[in-house]
Each structure stands twice: as C-alpha cells, then as structure tokens.
Structure 1
Amino acid sequence: MSNDSVSQSGTAEDAINHSGKEDPFTVDVEQKALDNAHLMNDTVRNFVWQGITVVVKDHKTKEPKTILENIEGSVEAGEMCALMGPSGCGKTTLLNVLARRDVSSEAKIDGSASVNGNNPSLGAFRRLSSYVEQDDALIGSLTVRETMHFAARLAHKNTLTKTERMRRIDGLIESFGLRQQANSIIGTPIRKGISGGQKRRVSVASQLITAPKILFLDEPTSGLDSAASFEVISFVKEVAKRNNLIVIASIHQPSTSTFQLFDKLLLLSGGKSHYFGTVEGVAPQFETMGYPVPLHTNPAEFLLELINIDFASHQEAASNRLQEIQQSWIKSPKAVELSAHVDAAATRAEPLSDTKPSKRNFPIILMTLVHRSFIKSYRDLVAYGIRVAMYTGLAIMMGTVWLRLKTDQSAIESFTNAIYYGGAFMSFMAVAYIPSYLEDHATYVKDRANGLYGPSVFILANFIIGLPYLFLIDVIFSVIVYWLGNFQPTAQAFFTWIMWLFLDLVAAESLVVLVSSIFPNFVISLALTAFANGLWMSVNGFMVSPKLLNVFWRYVFHYIDYQAYVFQGMMVNEFADRVYSCGSGCHCMFQTHMVDQCSFSGLAVLEQYGYKAGRTGEWAGILLAIVLGLRLLGWTALWVRK
C-alpha cells in the first residue's frame, strides 16, 4: 500500500457529513481525494482463509484438544462478516488467528490466510489491518476528538498534514454520529463521560483513522442493548461500504436488525464450521437440512439455540443432531462451492500496493505519548491529583505529630522515627498510582498489537511525565514536614532532604510500573506492591540495624532496598552536623568528646546504625541504578508479554 494512497484515502468521504451535506472547509481537497480513490480501493480486494486448525494441550487430561478444525471463508472488500456461535465455540480464537495475534504459547496452528492471494509479512499485515478489542481500552480523561487525534498522530502509515488529519477526524466524528460528544471526555471513575455505545463507536473510529483495509472487531456489541448494538454496527457498515473496508467481527446473539446488517456469516460450534455464506442464504440452507426458521423468530437466536448443546437435557441426542448439521453442511453444494472459491482466490495472487511503513522519528512518537499523558495527568484526579491530596494530608499529620522536636537526647528517637515514617510511607502510598498505570498499560497493549509503538518509547514517556508531579509532591510534603518538625535548619540540609524523598518516590513508582507490567491486574498488583513495600520497610535498617540483620536478609534484600539508602541518607543529613544536649543532669546516652559540654555529636547516633557521613553521592548513585534497573525490568516485562 503506498503511503500516498493511504494518506488520502477517505478524504473525499470525510468531506461529507452524516446528513449528506458537504463541509465547505474540505471542498478544496475533494478532487484530490477522488483522483486517488482507485488506489485506495484497489489495495485489498479479498481476504481468504482455509484449513484453519488450532490444537492445544488440555490442562486436565494433558491430551491434545482441537479448538478449531479446518475452518475456511472468504470476504470481499466492502463486506462485513459475522463470526457467530455459542460461548467457547472458538470465535475469538479464530479472530485472533486471522488477525495474526497470539492465541496460546502452546497452540499448534495450521492453515493459511491470504490477502489478494498473497501472504504478507506480519508487519505489512498489521499496516493493512486494525483490531478493536472487546474491552474499550481508552484513556478516560481524553475527549473523543483528542482520542482520535492521538491515534492519528501515532499511526505508522500516517503521512497526513495537520490540516488533512483534522479533516479526517472531523469526517469520522460525523460519520459515527459523535458530533455532539466530540469535546466530551470518555469517562473516568470520578467523572461521567460518554455512553457505552458511544465508547464502542470511538474505539472503532480511532482505528479507522489510520485507514486500514481489514478491520477485526472482537464482540463489538458486548455489554450494549439492542438499540446501541444496531447503532454501532450500522455505523461500521456505512464506513465499510463507503471505503471498501473488510470487516470481520465476532458477535454474540445479535438482534434481528443487527444480524441483517452483516453480509456474510460464519457459524461455529465445537470448533467446526456449520455454515459460511450470505446472511440471506442461511435460513434457506437450514431449511434444506430440515431446520426451518420459524416465523417471527430472530434467526440469530434460533441458530444459536440449534447448535448450542451445552444446556441440552439429552446430551447424546443433541450431540448427534449437531454432528448431523455439520455433515449436512460439508456435503452441501454451497460448501463445495465455497471450497472451490477459496482455493481459486488463494492461488490467484494479485499484487499488493507497497506496504512499507513511513519512517517515523522516535522523538516525535515520544513527544506524542508525553503530550497525551500530560493531558491525562492534570485532568484525571486518579493519576496524580488524589496522590497530591493524600501526601499533603500525610504531611500535615506528620508535621503536627512530630511538632517542633527539641535538639536534646530525648528527641533522638522521635527524629529517627519521623525519618523512617516519612520515607517509608511516601514509598508505600505509591500504590495509588496503580489504577492510572493500568489504564495506560491497557492502551499500550492495544496500540502495540496494532503496531503503533513498542515498549521502549512507552516506558520512557511514562518515566518523563511522572517526574514533575513527583517533584511537586516532594516539595509540598517537605515544606510542611521539614520546618514543622524542626529538622536541621539549613538550606543545604533541606534540599538534600528533598533529593532523598524525590529519589524515594521515583523508585517507588518504578516498582509500581514493574509489578503492574508483570501482573496487569489491579488486585494482584496492589497486593504484590504492598507486600514488596512491607518487605523493604522491614529490612531498610530501622526495624533492625544493618549490623544485626541476618546475612540472608542483608545480602539478598537489604542492598537492593531503595528505602534503605533513603533512610540512611536522611539519617546522615539530620545527624552528621548536628549537636544534641544531654538534658538535665547531663546523663548522656552517647559518650563523645563533647560530654564535658553536656552534649554529644549526632555522629554517635549514626555510629549506632553503622552509617558513615560522606557517602551521599555513592548512595544517590546506587538509588539511580535501582531506578534504572526497575525500569529496565519493567521494559523487559512489556517486551516479553507480546
């Protein structure tokens, strides 16, 4: 597919809104789009698959289990094909195989799928196609227009100018009936956004902005009522017909009106094909098999009930009936005709247009992701707003509990407790970042599967956008706690405190990214992150002095505990250059050279823990290495989880 053909595809159509009126701002480019329309339309004429068989190992019996068996079909440009069948019949598996997505690490896949009789490379195929997940992986704090804008900017095949990109976005917003919602946010747990049906339309439209020629939809009507389902599918059909787009969708129990919008139907049960052909031809076909569709009955519901044996009271009879239907289909003239057509289409190769990706600049993609994250970060309270409020509340609580501590030996323990509590709980409360990161992660998984960008730029953008907010949290917390608590009152000590807490927050957020990348589930990520922080709090040197910590915990966990370096760094910052009085009676708890002055140096406190001054740079360097290590491990987790 040539870049020119892709960049101009759909521009003429985008010049006409949903009501059929021309947009006066797009008339000047309409003729240019018409001149290139044949290039777009000729890119993909058909998509054919044959002999698709998927075998996995049954976890219970350890024997091979066939998920799909010898499935074939053919869809032409401008057609919509429904994959329909009872739950567990293999619809999503087939959709993933056709879309060249991972099915299972242990699955054995046979068969082939061709585009115009060609077998394009994975990269070329992904540039020709897009996949819309069953769940709407959208960033809730972005508006509809912003969602589509960023999708267009991130696209591999995007060579549009800014003006052309905005025209195409406006055209799709019109085509999908989203004009009134264009500037509404998608919706967050705190702020209500657009409806479920509108979210589905945004999901589809944001994939169409990249001008694909094959669109895969996984349960596009899931969770929608019949009216919203019809609304979504009708908009997709309109765009597919207008742009010669091939649409393949898995769908579960559609209404009659929604069912009739599809051009073709593949009926699956038990991993086997029981019909493939036009939607209009399915009722006559089953009538010839002895199963006529009753009058005033939804044909989709009738067919699903007929081939679903999971709830049959007589399993053996239902199984025999299903086998009879499948054999009748295999022997039918339509099945024979389909096989002949598939064989001919698969061997009649037609050249595909150049599908090499346009060269994209890594910094441009990075800036786009940072821009998107920036909008989310200040608009979505879950991202950082709630955390700022939590840390501010914690600071006020700490500052008033540890209020104006005295510089005598009676306050030594209180100073030490405050340092431990502040650093440890600043780190622990980073779990509040998990929901926000999981939303970003879901968007990343969708974008990566569609070939938009990889883990490197995602991890880097995530790291960059967090730094200013973490620094703001650090400063707010420190300004309140440090001066209320009467920690060492020098500018150098104050800014050193800020440095340690900032590194603490960055490391804690890096741990959240790592755990949530390995286990992208809220409950699991929350539990594991909390456990890890509890472990760090136990071995950081406060609960048990590093000198007394047993060798296992010291060498396995203490030296990689970022809280340990923060704690000892803040301890040195407070005690290294400060003198404390022994109080009335001059019974000094530490015997130093200043005992005759009824005071002692804070160095004695550090000696009790085994800490030495002058290692700030070394400890800060180790902390930075831990942050880098956590981010690299997070990147590795994303890279491995393809």
Structure 2
Amino acid sequence: MVIDCNRANDTTVHFPCLITDHRPLPVHLAFRGISVGAGGRKILHDIDGLVRPGQILAVMGPSGCGKTTLLNCLSGRLKLDSGQIFCNRDPLCKRWKRKICYVLQQDIFFPDLTLRQTLEYTARLRLPDTMSHTQKMQYVDHIIDVLELQHCQDTIIGDYLKRGLSGGEKKRANIACELLTNPSLMLLDEPTSGLDSHAAYSLMQTLKKYAVNEGKTVVITLHQPSSQIFHLCDKLLLLCNGQTAYSGDVCKVVDFFGSIGIHIMPHYNPADFILEQVKSSAEVRQKIIHAAREQRKSSDYPPELRCHNCAYMSDKFNDHSNKLLPNGTFPAIEQEALNSMEPDVRRLWLDTHSHASSSASSETSESDCHFSWPTSFWTQLTVLSQRNFQEARPRMLSKLNWVQTIGLGIMAGLLWFQLERREECLHDIQGWMFFSTTYWMLFAHFGALSSFPPEREVINKERRSGSYRLSAYYIAKMLGELPLTITLPAIYHFISYPMLGFHSPLVFLTLLAFLLLNTVVAQSVGFFIGACCMDMQASITVSALYTLATQLFGGYLATNIPVWLTWMRYLSMVHYAYQNMQIIEFSEGLPILCAQQSKFSICNESDHIPVTAILEAQGAHLPLWANTLVLIMFLVIFRTLGYLVLRYFKNPK
C-alpha cells in the first residue's frame, strides 16, 4: 500500500493515504437517449450528456424540469424507460453504482452525533479493512482541513429541535462523508441551495479544485447560480420540460443562444439569462429545443455521442425495454471520431484496463458486476454497535427521562408502600405488577416507534451507498441499544420494589428479569410496526390499537373475558409477563394470608392463598416456563419480521 501523508498543509484537495495501490481509474461518463416517465407523464425525453475526468457538468433548468430525476438515473436508483448510461466503456451496473458518490439535496444525519464522530464512523465503515485505524483517522483529519470544518468538528449535527451545524456546514459535512471514499464520480443535487453567496462560491471552488487536481468527474444540479459559480463549471446540460435545451461547453452557451436570435444584454448573468429563456413563452422554448436537436448533427457534438451505429437515437429507437447493445459494451466509435478526440480523452477511451472487453464473445451483465463490501461483517457489527449506542444514548437517557423515571419510581413506591401480605392488599400488589409491565411496555414501544422513521432515512442513504450489510446493522442495533433499553426500567425497579416490600433477593432479581424481558419484547414490536408503516400517523394508530388490546387482555383490567374473545389474551405480551411476575412473587415470596371473609374457597382449608388459586381466579394460565418461552418467541418473531420487512419490502433501490 502506498502511503503519502506529508501533504496535510496543501491547499489543494489531495488524498493523503491512497486506498489502493493505485489511484481509482478516472471515470468518463456518457449517457444517451435517457427517457423516463411516471404516471403517464414523460419526465425526461431523449437526454444526452458527456462529462470527462477533471470536469464539472452543471445540470440546470427551472423547477420540475427533471434535474433530480436525471441524477437518480445516473446513480442507478431509477429505472430507465429507454437509453443507456456508460462509465468509461462499461454499462452502468451494480459494481459501478456502489462506487458512485451521490450527495443528496437533503442533509440526512444522526442529529446527536458531532461532525467528527459522523466522519469517523463513516470512515471506519466505508474504508477497507486493509487500512489501519490511524490511516482512516488521517483521512478524516485531511477531509476536515480541505473542507474547512475545523472550527465545527466537535459540534453536533443538530436538527430543528437542537441547534447544531449551520446550513452551509451541513452541506460540507454531507460532501465530506462522500469524499472519504475517494470516489471517481460525484453526483451532487443542488449543494448550493440554502447557502449565502459566499458560502456557495467557496463550496463550488472546493469542488472545482477536487475535480481538477484529483482528476474526478463531477455532475451537479444548480437552480439559480451566480455568474461566478456558473463559470466554474466546464459543461452545461440545460433542461426544459424534460428535454435538452442545450448541451455543451459553458463558455459557448451564449453563442448558442445568439445563433438562434436570442441575444444576452451586456453585463447580464448568463445563468439568469438562459433560465429566463427556457421559462418564457412556448414558442421560444420550442425554438430552443429544436436548435438543441440540430446541435447534435454538428461536427462539434462529442464523437462519443454521435456514433453512426447507435440504434438508440430517438428518431430510430422504438423499444423502451432499456436493452443494452450487443455484448453490453459501448458501441464502436469510428476511427475518424476517435482521431478527432483530444489525446487524453482518446487514451482513456482506449484504456486496456477498462472492464469492457473488446472480445465479441464476452458479455457484461448485472451478475458479472461483482460487488464486495469494503469491510468485514465483524467490523460493521462492531462500528455500528458503537455508533448506535452513542447516537441513542442522548435520546433514550435524556435528563427528562431520568427525572421521569426516578419520579415515577418514588411515586409508585409511595403509593404501594410496604403493603401487607394479606388478601385485602392482594389487588394492590397485582396493581403494581400490572402498572410496571404496561408502563414500560408503552415507553419502549413508542420510543422505538418514534425513533425509527428518522433513523430509517439515514440507514437507507447508507445502504444505497453500499456502506454495510443490513444484517450487520440490524444485529448492531439490538446489541448497541440493549443496555440503554434496560437501564431506566431497572432504575425504576430498584426504587419502587423495595418500597413495596423487599422479601428476597432472588424474587427481586427474577421480577426485574421479567420486567426487562417484557420491555425488550415491546421494543421489538415497535421496530416491526415502524418498519412496516411509512406514515407516522398510521404506525401510531396501529400501535395504539395493539397496546390497548394488550392491556385489556393482560389479566388485570378484565378477568371475565367472553369465551369468543379468550384467544386475544394469547396475543398479549403483558399477559405473559404479568402472569410470570405473579408466579414468582406469590410462590417464592411471603405467603398471602386469607381474609376473614375470603373469596377464595381454598381459605376454608388453609390460612394462606396459594399462587394457583390466585391465577385461576383470573382465568386460564400457563406455567412459568411456558410464559417465558412465549415471550422469547414474541421477541424472536417480531425481530425477524422487522428484518424481513426491511430486507425485502422496504429495501432502498
């Protein structure tokens, strides 16, 4: 491995430690005839484009013209109706999709992690295991220096509730996470939106240096750039109603509009000028689109996009099945077109290291594009467990939750303080058990429900980039959050139960075990419902119905359940935990003395009430081991169902 870590003070974007033994192959991106529709409406129609290493391609156009849709197509996240996308001479496939850096317009992060923590976890997950921890941290330090984030590296990301990074800092943080992998191709969706003019220009300057000095290929969507930002770009793809209004060099766009009789006024921002034209009357728009079509026939049109044997052209292409050309390779370019290319471009085009084979017998398919994870399962599990713990701790163990738990423990202990072991107090003892199990069931269930939707956005973003396996994340979430999930119920139990009446350490610990088991099971159900329901309101409604039914059939609020509804109690997780707590408390603890006028017939023969009589008064019951087994089954089934939903039904494309 080549290590060069002596350029930390260099003002240019240069990676200090190479990931592999050589730099990634520069990416020559070409796309032709891209057409996409949705709901019977054509979003993109016959779009061509080309961008070479060291260049920035700006995709511009009015709102709704298809800029983000085009980026989704180029990243492989959206299926094409027709057209082709090539990286060098390879058709876009799974291997290439995982190597493309796609910076979304939304800044999606865990709000409670600091900027540095976010970058460090990203580096540990996405940089290969062949690199040491020290080398990965050197990457993080260098990226922080390059994007000028030193002053805010220890600030939390924040959200609308917690103050953290500013808008510009979040944009840079978003880009920094992607730069860590040293990608050859970057797609950025409106990275300057929401920034002031200085911050936007500074960010674009950094991207320009990155593209030029590192030989990277950058595609960026811009909404309404300043003239300074506009001239930092090399290529321009102007869209109008989903069609090409101009494709070519930025420096030639004014001449293009002048050639069709649309002249720019002196000292006018060219970006504003061209956007005004594509938003003007239908006659002007049609004139521009027609001129763009005629532009394809000119000798200045890139030779890679005007080869004569490309059957995809819109006037000849009628098959919308998105088929590749024979052998799945880039169509042959005539020698004359090759000779007209710049020397550097021609060398890249004919690079023998390209994955596309010149042999007619070779075929490139999705299965040929093998993707390997950057890190091992164990590395992913370890890093994600640490991150989940660190991210969830401020939320699950917040000061308010601590105050609530301690206050509730004291209140419950005072309410049921030192209850006597008599039949008159039996209902109160059962009340403490039922309240404890139901409260912590609801706390864990709705806690998981409220935290999962925002977390899912981050997970989907990272899964699309190929950062880690879903199985590693899912197991890590269980392991990382387990100590946090059981902490508050344990504190509550340590406060309230001794005030109720401490009889035996064994009973104390066993009751705690079943309280915690019920809490973890409730959290599992919350994860499952949160994974199934995309809408938060729907998930709350479903959860409310289930948890209320669980309480009603738990065995405390209603004992005389109609025969045709008795099956519902077997779906109640509280029922099993509540039954177990009674079995332990009333069989291992001090006996419950009978009242003078007892409702239990067994008191005619004995002075105390056995646990079997207490349970029979509530209806059918199962032994301790059976209740425990059912709770474990609940845990395993709902955790498994949650994974299957994420894996097969909510899998990000």
Spell out the pairing of 1:508-547 with structure 2 (5 A cutoff).
508-520=522-534, 522-545=536-559
> Does the alignment pair 1:307 with 2:299?
no
Contact 2:53–2:216 under 8 Å retained in 1: yes
Opposite residue 635 of structure 2, the aligned amino acid is V
Q: Which residue of 2 aligns with 1:626?
A: 634
Name structure 2 gaps, 5 residues minimum: 308-329, 334-348, 356-369
Matched, 1:569 2:569: no
Is the aligned partner of 1:249 residue 2:220?
A: yes
Deviation at 1:76, TM superposition (A): 0.4
In structure 2, the partner of 1:427 is 441
2:469 pairs, out of 454, 457, 461, with: 454
Answering whether residue 7 of structure 2 is matched by residue 15 of structure 1, we say: yes
Q: CA deviation at 1:264?
A: 1.6
Alignment partner of 1:587 is 2:597: yes
Q: Distance in 1 between matches of 2:252 and 2:545?
A: 59
Change beyond 3 A, Cα 1:48–1:610 = same
Q: Secondary structure at the match of 2:186?
A: strand
Q: CA deviation at 1:158?
A: 5.7
Output one character per residue of 1:250-274: Cα deviation in whole Å (capped at 9) or x when no partner: 2322233322322222111221111
- Report the AA paired with residue 417 of structure 1: G
CA gap 1:399/1:259 in 2 versus in 1, 3 angstroms: farther
Q: CA deviation at 1:203?
A: 1.0
Distance 1:397 1:260, change over 3 A: farther
Tell me how far apart the structure 2 counterparts of residues 88 and 210 of structure 1 sit (CA, whole Å): 31
Native 8 Å contact 2:123 2:137 kept in 1: no
Q: C-alpha deviations, 1:520-554, integer Å up to 9, x for none?
A: 55554444434432232233333333x62453x54
Q: Alpha-carbon deviation of 1:112?
A: 0.8
Post-superposition Cα deviations, 1:248-299, rounded to whole Å, max 9, x if no partner, equal 1223222333223222221112211111122222222122223223344433
Separation (CA, whole Å) in 1 of partners of 2:13 and 2:586: 75
Residues 356-371 of structure 1 correspond to what in structure 2 (within 5 A)? 357=372, 360-371=375-386
Work out the CA distance in 2 between the residues paired with 1:271 and 1:119. Answer: 23
Asked if structure 1 preserves the Cα contact closer than 8 Å seen for 2:449 and 2:529, the reply is no
Residues 391/66 of structure 1: CA separation in 2 closer, same or farther (3 Å cut): same
1:40 aligns with 2:3: no
Cα deviation per residue 1:168-191 (whole Å; 9 max; x = unaligned)?
A: 222211110112222333235665
Q: Which moved more, 1:153-162 or 1:345-354?
A: 345-354
SS at match of 1:222: coil
Query: What is the alpha-carbon distance in structure 2 between the residues aligned to residue 634 and residue 35 of structure 1?
Result: 37
**Partner of 1:270 in structure 2?**
241
* 1:84 and 1:250 in contact (8 A); partners too: yes
Partner Cα separation in structure 2 for residue 394 and residue 88 of structure 1: 53
Aligned equivalent of 1:465, options 443, 455, 480: 480
Q: CA distance change for structure 1 residues 167 and 631 in 2, over 3 Å: closer, same or farther? A: same
Q: What does residue range 76-115 of structure 1 map to in structure 2 within 5 Å?
A: 76-101=52-77, 103=78, 109-115=81-87
Residues 72 and 339, structure 1, Cα contact 8 Å, conserved in 2: no
Quote the Cα distance in structure 2 between the aligned partners of 1:635 and 1:542: 33
1:54 aligns with 36
Do 2:389 and 2:481's aligned partners in 1 also have CA atoms closer than 8 Å? no
- Distance in 1, matches of 2:129 and 2:219, equals 23
Name 2:322's counterpart in structure 1: none
3-state SS of paired residue (1:458): helix
The answer (yes or no) to whether the contact 1:591–1:600 under 8 Å persists in 2 is no
| Structure 2 partner of 1:229 | 200
Q: Does the 8 Å CA contact 1:143/1:186 hold for their aligned counterparts?
A: yes
CA offset at residue 624 of structure 1? 1.4
SS at match of 2:32: strand
Aligned counterparts of 1:387 and 1:166: Cα–Cα separation in 2: 34
Per the alignment, residue 61 of structure 1 pairs with none
In structure 2, what is the Cα distance between the partners aligned to 1:395 and 1:300? 64
- Provide the rounded CA distance (Å) in 2 between the counterparts of 1:336 and 1:623: 73
Q: What amino acid maps onto 2:613 in structure 1?
A: A
Partner of 1:312: none
Letter of the aligned partner of 1:591 in structure 2? S
Alpha carbons 2:33, 2:47 under 8 Å: kept:
yes
CA shift at 1:114, angstroms?
Answer: 0.6
Describe the SS at the equivalent of 1:173.
Answer: helix
Q: Is the 8 A contact 1:510 1:630 kept in 2?
A: yes
Match of 2:518 among 504, 509, 512: 504
Q: 1:234 to 1:526 in 2, by over 3 A?
A: farther
Could you say if the C-alpha distance between residues 337 and 291 of structure 1 is closer, same or farther in structure 2, counting changes exceeding 3 Å? same
Are residues 223 and 411 of structure 1, via their aligned partners in 2, closer, same or farther at CA, if it must alter by over 3 Å?
Answer: farther
Contact kept, 8 Å, 1:48 with 1:346, in 2: the verdict is no
> Which residue in 2 is equivalent to 1:135?
106
Whether the aligned pair in 2 keeps the contact of 1:50 and 1:72 (CA below 8 Å) is yes
In the alignment, what sits opposite 1:479? 494
Q: Paired residue for 2:561?
A: 548
Q: How many residues align?
A: 596
The answer for the alignment partner of 1:315 in structure 2 is none
Contact between 1:129 and 1:213, CA under 8 Å: does it hold in 2?
A: yes
Q: Equivalents in 2 of 1:34, 1:325: separation in Å?
A: 45
Coordinate RMSD, CA, aligned? 3.0
Q: Which moves more between the two structures, 210-219 or 519-528? A: 519-528
> What is the identity, as a one-letter code, of the residue corresponding to 1:342?
L
> Per the alignment, in what secondary structure is the counterpart of residue 280 of structure 1?
helix
Q: CA deviation at 1:111?
A: 0.9
Residue 158 of structure 1 contacts residue 210 of structure 1 at CA under 8 Å; is this kept in 2?
no
Deviation at 1:612, TM superposition (A): 4.3
Secondary structure of 2:431's partner?
Answer: helix
The 5 Å alignment of 1:180-259 reads 180-187=151-158, 191-259=162-230
Aligned residue runs from structure 1 range 259-408, under 5 A: 259-308=230-279, 318-332=281-295, 337-338=300-301, 340-344=303-307, 347=332, 350-352=351-353, 357=372, 360-378=375-393, 380-381=394-395, 386-408=400-422
Structure 1 residues 66, 448: closer, same or farther in 2, change over 3 A?
same
Structure 1 residue 82 displacement after superposition: 1.8
Q: Which amino acid aligns with 2:484?
A: Y
Counterparts of 2:13 and 2:173 in 1: how far apart (Å)? 22
CA shift digits 1:60-101 (9 cap, x unpaired): xxxx32111111100001111122222222111111111001
- Residue of structure 1 aligned with 2:89, choices 117, 140, 144: 117
Q: Distance in 1 between matches of 2:14 and 2:193?
A: 34
Q: CA deviation at 1:401?
A: 2.3
- What is the TM-score when the length of structure 1 is the normalising length? 0.85
Residue matched to 2:506? 492
Residue 638 of structure 1 aligns with which residue? 646
Is the 2:76–2:92 Cα contact (8 Å) retained in structure 1? no
Please say if 1:176 is aligned against 2:176.
Answer: no
2:85–2:92 CA contact under 8 A, matched in 1: no
Change (3 A) 1:582 1:164: closer
Check whether the contact 1:18–1:174 (CA below 8 A) recurs between aligned residues. no
Q: Residues 396 and 338 (structure 1 numbering): CA distance in 2 closer, same or farther, change over 3 Å?
A: farther
Residue deviations 1:406-458, cap 9 Å, x none? 32222222222222221111111222344544443222111110011122111
Residues 392/240 of structure 1: CA separation in 2 closer, same or farther (3 Å cut): farther
Larger displacement relative to structure 2 (87-96 or 396-405): 396-405
Task: Give the deviation of 1:197 after TM superposition.
Answer: 0.7
Distance 1:108 1:602, change over 3 A: same
Contact persistence 2:54–2:215 (CA under 8 A)? yes
Partner SS state of residue 416, structure 1: helix
Distance 1:249 1:394, change over 3 A: farther
Task: Give the Cα separation in 2 of the matches to 1:554 and 1:278.
Answer: 75
Question: Residues 132 and 346 of structure 1: is their aligned pair in 2 closer, same or farther, counting only changes over 3 Å?
Answer: farther
Match of 1:607 among 616, 621, 626: 616
SS at match of 1:40: coil
Q: Distance in 1 between matches of 2:123 and 2:616?
A: 60
| Cα contact 1:51–1:70 (8 A) shared by 2 | yes
Partner Cα distance (1:596, 1:341) in 2: 98
